[in-house]
Structure 1
């Protein structure tokens, strides 16, 4: 669902600049695009020569597929389609992303193998309405004996990928003097290119104890993330902490799509039982 929303936002946010990013005005990226490996089938839906109506229609197609994925309609098919189309699109315009497309693309590969339609999806609603076994919607495009093993493998791979990302990010921060002395976030909030709300950034950066704790906390939680996942209580704390971190990045630094991609991946650590409890409370 979250990655479907991400896809829709990728199209909507950049729609007004589509010609500059991917169309006739993007020829300045041509040397880079000539070396791109993502222009062949099945990623070649978007081509360097697309512009005007052709580009607009193709972007609308991607947006519709993203909405379909977000709604959980033909979940696996729409996920595969979004993976192929979005990969080719970002390859045409490297400035249209903040490297969040790397996480987005990796997780999408795993989601193609996972069952993403068991909760809050049109697929599940339609199956239940027809009186069918909702577990049957797992089977789209995947042979029955492989459904559960591949789903479980996909979940484990996403968990492992996130753990690697967070640990490596934490270790990289630890090498920086600003992170070690607790001032990294202060200086980050004063970067002009990452200041959607300069006044708010200056206000927060003036809260020195909070800035120091946040800087150290980000490093410690990222490095300790895999260990925190081993216990239910610490797992909840770590997931909430990382989601809070990414919300802060979205608000304070303006990297909203990056944060959305990471938060969407973080949700893999939320158990089915937790989702069921939440839905039960909402129905009351």
Structure 2
């Protein structure tokens, strides 16, 4: 005679199963894929911009002597594939292989493989001549490590087309583990970006030019970062300069709190971040820096929010374009047809 199992004994197991199911459900998949596209585009741009002068900047007989570079690699805990050989053929092979891998990562081919390879080649290039990079490059080095555990090929990729032909059981152990790792990686994205903004804001608070509201004026008047014909419209207006200077500090200090408070403040934080870096790209000309920073921002918008944005853009297009309601783009239609997923916050 079997004894009945009490409801009380089933409750902990049921709660545990529910928690595992929730944390293993991958979220922010569209944002992670857009991160890949934005960051991949910035990496490819850097390779192409430096292609003509690659030997002068990074080659064995370049601006920074190879012997000095190799010695610094030997005496440090880091690495660079460019330090493995002084051969010009090896340098050309590494440089162009890095460009090829970045292009494959950008289009989403075998992202589980190309993500770590992109990190290795991009990190190696930066180590070959570290003096010419900026804060966006430093951020992307860290985030690419987290991206190795994220599913950055779920959307807008060759991987997504391949998976559509061979669907995976979402309840399989491997799929659940992959979902947990993906969600953890996205959380690491958020924590890293919060740290960058928060530290930058607290550092600015201590500066005299940020306290008196003239920092933006000095940035535009340096002559190094300008948009000719438009930057003057900003730095010639004292009110605008003061508001932008103090607003920058306020945004950066507040970003970590806005991001994690609730989903509404998270949207405000991400929107401000994207606007902030759009302004930097336009008025200061820091294109790749802005792309790197914005790539992490777009990863923090959840899938339901992207679908809602797609529906809004479709309605806006049908309202303002002639010819009535146009045919919905395939990408927007795919977004709307996917099942809804609960956001992280």
The TM-score normalised by the length of structure 1 is 0.87
Q: 1:254 aligns with which of 285, 290, 298?
A: 285
Give matches, 1:94-243, under 5 Å. 94-128=130-164, 130=165, 132-133=166-167, 143-195=174-226, 197-229=227-259, 230-243=261-274
Query: Matched residues in 2 for 1:186 and 1:33: separation?
Result: 41
CA RMSD of aligned residues (A): 2.4
Picking from 19, 31, 34, the partner of 2:68 is: 31
The verdict on how the C-alpha distance between 1:44 and 1:55 changes in structure 2, with shifts beyond 3 A counting, is closer
Bigger CA radius of gyration: 2
Q: Deviations over 1:166-215 (max 9, x none)?
A: 011011111111111211101110112333x3443223201222211111
CA 50–214 in structure 1, closer or farther in 2 if over 3 Å, else same = farther
Q: CA deviation at 1:117?
A: 1.5
When residues 203 and 28 of structure 1 are mapped into structure 2, their CA distance, relative to the original with a 3 A threshold, is farther
Does the CA contact (< 8 Å) of 1:113 and 1:154 recur in 2? yes
- Deviation string 1:39-90 (CA, Å, 9 cap, x unpaired) is 64xx425656243x54333322211211111111111211110001111111
- Larger RCO (CA under 8 A, 6+ residues apart): 2
1:134/1:72 CA distance change after superposition, 3 Å: farther
Residue 26 of structure 1 aligns to a residue whose secondary structure is coil
SS in 2 for 1:16: coil
Structure 2 partner of 1:49 = 86
| 5+ residue gaps, structure 1 | none
| Separation in 2, partners of 1:48, 1:184 | 45
The structure-2 alpha-carbon separation of the partners of 1:135 and 1:227, relative to structure 1 and needing over 3 Å to count, comes to farther
Q: Which has the higher helix share?
A: 1
Describe the SS at the equivalent of 2:239: helix
Given candidates 297, 314, 328, the residue that maps to 1:266 is 297
Contact 1:100 1:257 in 2 (8 A): yes
Unaligned runs of 5+ in 2: 1-36, 315-328, 334-345
Structure 1 residues 277, 75: CA separation in 2 closer, same or farther (over 3 Å shift)? farther
Match of 1:76 among 88, 108, 112: 112
Q: Distance in 2 between matches of 1:246 and 1:180?
A: 21
- The answer to whether the 8 Å contact 2:40/2:103 transfers is yes
